[in-house]
Amino acid sequence: MSEQRVYVDKQSPAAYQALVRTAEAVRATAAEAGLDRVLMELVNLRVSQLNGCAYCLDVHTRAALRAGETGRRLGVLAAWRDTELFTPRERAALALAEATTHPADADAQERAYDEARAVLGEDELSAVIWVAITINAFNRVSILSKHPVRETPARP
């Protein structure tokens, strides 16, 4: 087994803070484009599922619940195509986020882009792509650093 991983966010704080500032700008851009916090968190969660990032799944599950998302929808997010629980707008954003995460599948990427283009405006489309790009970057930081998911003490 390898030694404790280097937490690249701690080892290179200036680079990490630049990523944090990017995420802040992306959140502002998404809000200006009209994307609500629930939709942004669905994108963050779906991308984190695809990448297998336990740390980001933990963070964004809690954020989604705070934003008003339901446990039921979160429970089926990995199989969103097989449910009727997500709106056409959410489905378009999720497909586009998946295509952003796995760009090598050019046909799937074109279909997802076309579907998103039919449902989302240009600002929304751009914002979804930026949300997916940003969470992909954070996933890599957490996965390669092996950031732990720890039990949080119960509040009184």
pLDDT tens for each residue of 126-149: 999 999 999 999 999 999 999 999
Q: What pLDDT digit, counting tens, does each position of 26-50 carry? A: 999 999 999 999 999 999 999 999 9
Q: State how far the Cα of 68 lies from the Cα of 123, in Å rounded to an integer.
A: 24
In a domain? residue 141: yes
pTM confidence score: 0.93
Decide if 154 is inside a domain.
no
Is residue 26 domain-resident? yes
For 93, the token pair is 């954003």
Residue 6 lies in a domain: no
Computed over every residue of the chain, the mean pLDDT equals 95
Please give the residue range of the domain that contains residue 49. Answer: 12-145
In a domain, 105, yes or no: yes
The domain that holds 82 is classified in CATH as 1.20.1290.10
CA distances, 76 to each of 32, 71, 133 (Å): 28, 9, 23
Is 78 a member of any domain? yes
Query: Any idea of the CA torsion for 28, 34, 57, 86, to the nearest 10 degrees?
Result: 180
